[in-house]
Every structure is written in C-alpha cells, then in structure tokens.
Amino acid sequence: MGAWDGTMSIMKVKDVMEKKVVVCTITDSVSVVAKKMRKNNISGMPVMDGSKLVGIISEGDILRLLRTPKYSRELWLPSPLELIEVPIRELVGWVETKKALENIGNIPVIDVMTKRVHTISIEDGIERAAEMMTTHDINRLPVIDGGKLVGIVTRGDIIAGLGGKR
C-alpha cells in the first residue's frame, strides 16, 4: 500500500488495524491493566468476559478515579510549602494516602471501564472509523468480524495508513 492519494474511502479498517490486540478481563484490577498499558505502550484496551467484548478501558477512565469523591477524598497530597508547615504527626497521613492509592489499584476493571463500546467492522472504510472517533471523542475502536474481536484501530493507525506506514 502506498501513501494516501486522496481516495481515503478505498482504504479499509482491515488495512490499518492492529491484529494483535492487548486485552484485559473483567476480573483484572486497575493495577494489572495499568501495567499492561505501560508494558505495551498503549493508552487503552478492550475488556473481555471470556470471548465476549463487554467494555473498553482507557487511561482517562483510570485517571477519573482520582477525581471521584469516593476515592479522591482519601487522598491528600500536600504542596512542598505545606510539607514545611505540617507537623510530623500529620505526615502519618501519608500512610493512609498510600493505602488509598493501593485501594484504587485493587479496583476491578469492570467498575471503571466504559461499558458502551463503539465498534467497527473489518470491512468498513477508514473514513467511517475517523467519523466515529471524532463524533464520539474516542481514540480507538475494537474491530469486529462475525461478532468476534479481530483487531483494534486507533487514530494513530489511521494517520499511519494515510502516510503509507502500514
């Protein structure tokens, strides 16, 4: 496949998608998922229940945990100036902060994931994928063929395909 010649509709999702999909399961913890993301240099992945696609998890989903009152209320991270003024006995709160961060890491991915997953067919054109990504403000689409997860396509995959890098 050469560089994009202005006929984007000819290029299909199957031409640019990643076939080796990194996935997690509904029983994986946030900590396990974060490690998989870091190890594979990705920012999100499909969530599976056996062979069924049931959600998608992204860095954004995980970061939102820190803004959720249920979890963020337990976190107190002082500024450097506050550290100077805080009595030693209050620094004991760091133990509780560490525990709160560990608790976030232990949350099952099913409680954090996005349950409404937008998918795309392997035969769809990349213009459809681009439209879905921009319309729904998402960065990746699981690729489905015959009801089965067969790949994933990201914004970067589409751009690389347009540049002839796939």
Give 8-162's CATH code, choosing from 3.40.50.1820, 3.30.70.260, 1.10.3720.10, 3.10.580.10. Answer: 3.10.580.10
pLDDT number for residue 63: 85
Fill in the DSSP letter of residue 134.
Answer: H
Report the predicted TM-score, pTM, of the whole model to 2 decimal places: 0.74
pLDDT number for residue 164: 72
Name, in order, each residue with C-beta under 8 angstroms of 30's C-beta and a sequence gap of 6 or more: 62, 65, 104, 105, 106, 107, 108, 109, 112
pLDDT number for residue 2: 45
CA–CA distance, 120 with 142 (Å, rounded to integer): 6
User: Judging by DSSP bridges, how do beta strands 140-145 and 148-154 pair with one another?
Assistant: antiparallel
pLDDT number for residue 104: 81
- Straight-line distance from the first to the last Cα atom of the chain, in angstroms, rounded to the nearest whole number: 8
Helix spans in 17-111 (H): 30-40, 59-65, 69-72, 80-85, 93-105
User: Per-10-residue mean pLDDT for the chain, 166 residues long?
Assistant: 52 95 96 94 96 95 74 52 54 58 83 96 95 96 96 94 72
